[in-house]
Amino acid sequence: MQGELSPTPAVHICRPKDFESIELHRGSGITQEYPRHWHDEIYLCAVLDGAAYQDCAGTAIFTPPGTLAIVPSGQVHANRKLHCTFRCVFMDSKALQRSMEQSVERSVAELDFRTTLIDDPRTLSRFLRLYRSLEEPCSRLGRDHALLAFLHGLVERHSTASIALSRDGNEDSAVQRSKKFLDDHYADSVPLRELARLTGLSPYHLNRSFCRKVGMPPHEYQLQVRIARAMSALRMGSPIARVALDMGFADQSHFTRIFKRMVGRTPAQYSATARTF
């Protein structure tokens, strides 16, 4: 019996919609040596399989699977990958700092990371969650949440910058206004920044307060509303493709995948069952 063929080594590059300052690189089974160079952007690379070596300031660093390498913009370095599967993000350093300052609504000192190799499962998990949200169909709120969670954790846990949290303020009113807005705009692409402007809180503060008081972040709440509205439309006999479009999903395939994960049945199965009663 022949074994399965390994995927052909390849690097796929894309730029996610609405995030022009970010570039994604997905590598599978790559063996390549990159000579000394530097990037205008901050370079973040999670090694999932195989091996990689990074040479910074004349020091060779082994980056095994399960680690996240980080190289600040402008730093000269060299890379060597051996049958390496990885997920890499290039992020404009000024955009990163601007995002942090807009999120916490205060000036953040120039970012200086304490290490070039992060061996922290929580940070790696947040990085991969961010990568997936940027690469696959996802709501704008979901992408904003993933980006904010990763960046805040990265800066707070692995840089020399100090980020103080905003005072609580009138969180109850802010969360209720956010919920009402998402109830009314469930099919829209809503940036977290827009919700923050509506409530007067910073994006990070609002996101944190919403999670604590509702039990889920804003993007998951919006998704719950979409699915509830979709179930009602399907019970009324609306076509699945029309429901997917009306609820703000990227396409019918995306709608079906999310619906089955949350309801336990596909839209077609649910529609057929619901209309038998």
Per residue in 211-257, pLDDT tens? 999 999 999 999 999 999 999 999 999 999 999 999 999 899 999 99
Non-local CB neighbours of 113 within 8 Å, separated by 6+ positions:
70, 72, 158, 159, 160
Q: Return mean pLDDT, the chain.
A: 87
Nearest in space to 149 (alpha carbons), one of 102, 196, 204: 204
Do 111 and 193 lie in one domain? The reply is no
Do 54 and 76 lie in one domain? The reply is yes
**What is the total residue count of the chain?**
277
In CATH, what number is assigned to the domain containing residue 256?
A: 1.10.10.60
Number of CB atoms found within 10 A of residue 154's CB: 24
Give the confidence band of 4 by pLDDT, cuts at 50, 70, 90.
very low
Q: Looking at residue 201, what is its pLDDT?
A: 87
Q: Looking at residue 138, what is its pLDDT?
A: 85
Q: Judge whether 136 lies within some domain.
A: no
Do 205 and 260 lie in one domain? The reply is no
Q: Which has more pLDDT, 185 or 19?
A: 185
Which domain covers residue 241, as residue numbers? 224-274
Do 177 and 204 lie in one domain? The reply is yes
Q: Looking at residue 101, what is its pLDDT?
A: 73
Do 25 and 96 lie in one domain? The reply is yes
Do 200 and 237 lie in one domain? The reply is no
Q: Judge whether 126 lies within some domain.
A: no
> Which of 119, 137, 155 is the last residue in one of the domains?
119
Contact 33, 79 (CB under 8 A): yes
Contact 34, 50 (CB under 8 A): no
Q: Judge whether 263 lies within some domain.
A: yes
Domain count within the chain:
3
Number of CB atoms found within 10 A of residue 98's CB: 13
121: helix, strand or coil: helix
Do 36 and 88 lie in one domain? The reply is yes
Q: Looking at residue 2, what is its pLDDT?
A: 45
Tell me which of 53-57, 122-126, 178-182, 214-218 is least confident: 53-57
Q: Judge whether 178 lies within some domain.
A: yes
Between the CA atoms of 258, 261, 263 and 267, what dihedral angle is there, to the nearest 10 degrees?
Answer: 50
Do 192 and 245 lie in one domain? The reply is no
Do 18 and 108 lie in one domain? The reply is yes
